[in-house]
């Protein structure tokens, strides 16, 4: 049994920034599946959108977010995030993040523009913003006396008051598998925060790290929380297409700085799909690429920025330039082969403006949450901003209450299970799930495809539940169990939306309904 004031599951920007905001007054446990630096936040290239230039305005940023979100952005959440943008960036600068400078601007920092934005408002650290931010915060987290880090630990499930016959107590902590120690540890906490990221690994092709397995969404659902808008899975238009380039993203900023999408013969195609061409929101660009690839039987399309000076490209995109060069692609001379890939989970666990969920003492922040900011399609570079603003909101709410007493919790019971007799069930089911989700619940959907996907999901669920009941838990089993449940929630939401809106495009319902409404799912009962 480990007792803490606050248990944070996940070590991305949301989790680390929250830990630092709490640590002066609370004892914090920070649990992460891999190492402290491993997260989707660390993979973010483009930057963080915020109103920092005098020519820009909060109203413009809000309107751009609304437009990309296709009528589903929550006005209060959007305004909260945008109006706290400058403060969030200043906090990062105070922590020591060295954003790319540009002394020719009044601000002193270089701002780039990305798809869907009407102004240059994306502050960045070259083309590796997430990594720079994560490294800066991780150094502080590692050396803070009030933060205890548990690397290579994965949560199995939340512990709620239902476990001890007192459902009114809400969330009391979590059971967590020590991956290397091969044992389950009971964490007892006054407040628990899910910051476990998204669910990109539910798809065969994704820009996400291997840790993005929908853990927080699945755990919150099992604990009795609502989830919303899971049908809106953002497919990033430009993932590098190369057999040796697993999950390597070509930043939105490449198009923001003038990159053009071309067919193999060099013909541009985006102007035929949208007046904003390459700077249209991601859902439009991804669908356009998907359309052209299927229409012409292409393996990929090409992103061409060779018309820009070589020095400019090497200065602004050093990591993309270096990685492509390793694979024999010189972006100063060669167009970059790209394909869409699952990128961001716009839906998630329903929260309020303080990051609180339906379950008392449980908070959700970052990609795991559905705050209402992203609506039906996340605009570029709003995600890291959301992490910062809602971590601040959650910290304020947690610090406003006094840590409660730790009730006695039941230990994890393995008395009726055995070691797994074979692992092939897990690896086979994992592969099957990701393939049929890509085929049936991808960029373009139909009723029949969704029906086929749900049929297979139900078969997998029965098989995995039987495996879970009879054998000791492992990292792979926990992730697969969460992925299948997350896939179930994605398909259920998609089946309920009888229109095409934002990231959800259905051939059976190609029109957009006049009134926008969230897709909210409610669990039958908490466990």
| Run of H or E residues at 30 | strand 28-31
Q: 282 an active-site residue?
A: yes
Q: What DSSP assignment string belongs to 239-299?
A: EE--TT-TT-B--HHHHHTT-EEE-TTS-B-GGGT-TTGGGS-HHHHHHHHHHHHHHHT-S
Q: Among the options 21, 26, 282, 378, which is catalytic?
A: 282
C-alpha–C-alpha distance, residues 393 and 404, integer Å = 20
C-alpha–C-alpha distance, residues 296 and 7, integer Å = 51
C-beta separation of 125 from 137 below 8 A: no
Contacts of 265 (CB under 8 A, 6+ apart): none
| Run of H or E residues at 194 | strand 183-194
Q: Would you give the DSSP letter of residue 379?
A: P
Determine what percent of the chain falls in helix, strand and coil, rounding each to the nearest 5.
40, 20, 45
- Maximum Cα–Cα distance for the chain, whole Å? 68
Instruction: Order across the sheet with 111-112: list the strands.
Output: 48-49, 122-123, 111-112
Active site residues: 282
């Amino acid at each position: 049994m480990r007792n803490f004031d606050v248990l944070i599951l996940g070590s991305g920007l949301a989790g680390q920034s929250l830990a630092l905001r709490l640590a002066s007054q609370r004892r914090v446990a920070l649990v992460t599946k891999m190492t402290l630096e491993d997260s989707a936040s660390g993979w973010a290239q483009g930057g963080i959108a915020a109103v920092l230039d005098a020519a820009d305005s909060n109203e413009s940023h809000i309107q751009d977010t609304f437009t990309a979100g296709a009528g589903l952005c929550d006005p209060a959440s959007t305004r909260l995030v945008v109006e706290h943008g400058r403060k969030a960036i200043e906090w990062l600068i105070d922590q020591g993040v060295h954003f790319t400078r540009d002394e020719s601007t009044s601000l002193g920092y270089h701002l780039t523009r990305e798809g869907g934005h009407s102004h240059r408002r994306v502050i960045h650290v070259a083309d590796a913003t997430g990594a720079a931010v994560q490294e800066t915060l991780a150094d502080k987290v590692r050396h803070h006396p009030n933060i205890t880090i548990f690397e290579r630990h994965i949560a199995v499930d939340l512990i709620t008051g239902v476990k001890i016959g007192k459902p009114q107590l809400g969330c009391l902590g979590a059971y967590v598998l020590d991956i290397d120690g091969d044992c389950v540890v009971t964490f007892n906490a006054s407040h628990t925060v899910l910051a476990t990221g998204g669910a990109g690994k539910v798809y065969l092709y994704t820009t996400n790290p291997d840790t993005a397995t929908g853990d927080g969404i699945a755990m919150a659902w099992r604990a009795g929380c609502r989830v919303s808008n899971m049908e809106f899975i953002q497919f990033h238009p430009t993932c590098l297409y190369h057999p040796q380039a697993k999950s390597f993203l070509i930043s939105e900023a490449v198009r923001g700085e003038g990159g053009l999408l071309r067919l193999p013969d060099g013909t541009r195609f985006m102007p035929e799909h949208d007046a904003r061409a390459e700077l249209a929101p991601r859902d439009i660009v991804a669908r356009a690429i998907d359309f052209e690839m299927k229409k012409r039987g292409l393996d990929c399309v090409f992103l061409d920025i060779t018309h820009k000076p070589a020095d400019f490209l090497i200065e602004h995109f050093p990591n993309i330039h270096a990685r492509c060069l390793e694979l024999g692609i010189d972006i100063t001379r060669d167009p970059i082969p790209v394909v869409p890939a699952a990128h961001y989970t716009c839906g998630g666990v329903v929260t309020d403006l303080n990051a609180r969920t339906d379950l008392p003492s449980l908070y959700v922040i970052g990609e795991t949450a559905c705050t209402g900011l992203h609506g039906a399609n996340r605009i570029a570079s709003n995600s890291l901003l959301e992490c910062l603003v809602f971590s601040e909101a959650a910290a304020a709410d947690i610090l406003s209450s006094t840590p409660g007493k730790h009730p006695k919790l039941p230990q994890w019971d393995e008395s009726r299970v055995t070691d797994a007799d074979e692992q092939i069930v897990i690896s086979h089911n994992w592969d099957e799930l990701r393939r049929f989700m890509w085929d049936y619940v991808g960029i373009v959907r139909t009723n029949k495809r969704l029906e086929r996907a749900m049929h297979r999901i139900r078969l997998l669920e029965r098989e995995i539940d039987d495996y879970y009941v009879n054998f000791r838990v492992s990292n792979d089993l926990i992730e697969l169990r969460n992925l299948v449940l997350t896939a179930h929630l994605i398909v259920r939401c998609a089946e309920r939306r009888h229109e095409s809106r934002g990231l959800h495009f259905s051939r059976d319902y190609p029109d957009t309904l006049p009134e926008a409404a969230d897709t909210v799912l409610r669990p039958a009962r908490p466990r």
